[in-house]
Amino acid sequence: MDQIKLELPSVEVMEAAFRGRDASFDGIFFAAVATTGIFCRPSCPARKPLPGNTVFYATAAEALFAGYRPCLRCKPLFSSDDPDWLRELVARVESEPRGRIKESELKSMGLDPATVRRRFKSRYGMSFQAFQRARRLASAFEAIKEGGSIDDAVFDHGYDSHSGFRDAFAKLFGEAPGKAAGSDYIRLAWIESPLGPLVAGAVDRGICLLEFTDRRMLEAQAEALRLRFRLPAAPAPHALLERLEAELAEYFSGSRREFDLPLLEPGTPFQERVWAALREIPCGETRSYGDLARALGDPGAVRAVAQANGRNRIAILVPCHRVIGSDGGLGGYGGGLWRKRRLLEIERHGH
Ligand SMILES: [Zn+2]
218, 224, 216: which is closest to 33 by C-alpha?
216
With contact defined as beta carbons under 8 Å apart, do 176 and 234 qualify? Answer: yes
Query: Of the residues 40, 71, 74, 208, which is catalytic?
Result: 40
The Å distance, Cα 312 to ligand 1 centre, comes to: 30
The Å distance, Cα 20 to ligand 1 centre, comes to: 13
Rounded-to-integer distance, Cα 67 and Cα 135, Å: 8
DSSP state of 29: B
Q: Is 320 a catalytic residue?
A: yes
Rounded-to-integer distance, Cα 160 and Cα 62, Å: 25
* CB atoms inside a 10 Å sphere around CB 214: 21
Rounded-to-integer distance, Cα 231 and Cα 199, Å: 17
Q: Is residue 276 left, alpha or beta, with left meaning phi > 0 and alpha meaning psi from -120 to 50?
A: alpha
Rounded-to-integer distance, Cα 148 and Cα 80, Å: 34
- φ/ψ of residue 233, rounded to 5: -135, 135
CA angle 68, 71, 73 (to 5 degrees): 175
The Å distance, Cα 65 to ligand 1 centre, comes to: 17
Rounded-to-integer distance, Cα 68 and Cα 219, Å: 13
Rounded-to-integer distance, Cα 160 and Cα 256, Å: 22
Question: Which residues are in the CB-under-5-Å shell of ion ligand 1?
Answer: 40, 44, 46, 71, 73-74
> Domains, the chain, ranges and CATH?
11-70 (3.40.10.10), 84-143 (no CATH), 160-237 (3.30.160), 269-349 (1.10.10.10)
Instruction: Give the SS3 label for residue 10.
Output: coil
Radius of gyration in angstroms for the set of CA atoms belonging to the chain, rounded to a whole number: 20
pLDDT 10s per residue in the chain (351 long)?
333 344 678 888 889 999 999 888 887 889 998 777 788 999 998 888 777 778 888 878 777 766 678 888 888 888 777 888 998 898 888 787 667 888 999 999 999 999 999 888 877 767 888 777 766 655 554 444 333 333 433 333 222 334 444 454 455 555 443 333 344 677 888 788 888 778 899 988 899 999 887 655 666 666 667 667 777 676 777 899 999 999 999 999 989 999 999 999 888 889 999 999 999 999 999 999 999 999 999 998 888 998 898 888 899 999 999 999 877 777 777 777 888 888 999 998 865
DSSP state of 76: T
The Å distance, Cα 127 to ligand 1 centre, comes to: 24
Query: Of the residues 71, 74, 208, 320, which is catalytic?
Result: 320
Rounded-to-integer distance, Cα 97 and Cα 114, Å: 22
Q: Is 40 a catalytic residue?
A: yes
The Å distance, Cα 14 to ligand 1 centre, comes to: 15
The Å distance, Cα 334 to ligand 1 centre, comes to: 21
